[in-house]
Amino acid sequence: MTPQPTILIYGATTPADVPGLTTHLPGYAFRCVPEGGDLAGALPGAEVILGWKFNAKELQSSWSNAKQVKWVHWCGAGVDAALFPELASSDVTLTNARGLFDDAMAEYAAGLVIGLAKGFWPMFKAQEERRWGYAMTETVAGKRALVVGAGSIGTAMGAKLKALNMEVEGIARTARPGDDVFSAIGGMDDLNAALDRADYVLLVTPLTEQTRNLFAAPQFKAMRSHARFLNFGRGPLVVEEDLIAALRDGEIAGAALDVFCEEPLAVDNPIWDAPNLIVSPHMSGDFHGYFEMMAEQFVDNLKRYLGGQVMMNVVDKEIGYVPRH
């Protein structure tokens, strides 16, 4: 029988913080380290790390103690917090929670697109003020959406928008033929030209050194003045002061952000005062039951790991995400 590996749960106080884990893995002895805890002291002897808090940052500073670690599973779609140079250059396998958030984020994105088109937020404000805020609204049918990041989440978003009779174009790391969701899929070199065709731009690409500050003043200038910009990827994909300036100067008509460079936003962050901008507190992928799903996904991958089988969601550490197959 394969001996049980020592599993360190990073971002949990007790194994009970991970729903169903002890039920699925009876008899396992887990080590738990909450954020800010003594991760360096807990790492020696650990073979598997379950990163329960996807944005925790202490792993890099403690990595010299991770000499026995063979596998890190990160409970998030983006692995930027875990993909530091020492881990990236090691033989340690890195996996993520790819696939769990696709439907929830796609629904959330479609809801925001419809809300922007129908003017829900001015209507809500008018209601709070007991003001009859009648206004004409827009339709989304026939409009063009550009999804920047045509991976599993981006494809799910594109499918939802296509179901609303929108024309959906994609941008990926490299160009490839269109499919049943995207009318065309361009490469990053095609981004600015595609922006000029879009009424709604949805950003959901992973954060890598190549995509950091992907959207700055030139990209917002390339967009149509009536277009809306939505970011579901990571805050540092966007130069936020350039976005604020584009909204203030009327270069684009509106924006909705689910991710930010600073999370949570400080009360004096200028994003709060940006015109025509919706603040969503990094919740587009969170839904009732997803903790249980993350635990089950880890357990499934652990069984594959112990059985020497091909593991799910193995991150290509050179490009920073799970490659498309």
Q: Which residues are catalytic?
A: 234, 263, 282
Distance CA 225, CA 310 (A): 48
Contact predicate 23/46, CB 8 Å: no
Contact predicate 322/98, CB 8 Å: yes
| Angle at CA of residue 267, ends 261 and 271, nearest 5° | 50
Distance CA 188, CA 185 (A): 10
Distance CA 298, CA 240 (A): 35
| Angle at CA of residue 42, ends 36 and 47, nearest 5° | 125
Q: Is the peptide bond between 264 and the residue preceding it cis, with omega within 30 degrees of 0?
A: yes
Strand partners, 215: 238
- What sign results for the dihedral spanned by CA atoms 192, 203, 54, 181? negative
Give the sheet arrangement for strand 200-203, strand by strand. 185-186, 167-171, 144-148, 200-203, 228-231, 254-257, 277-279
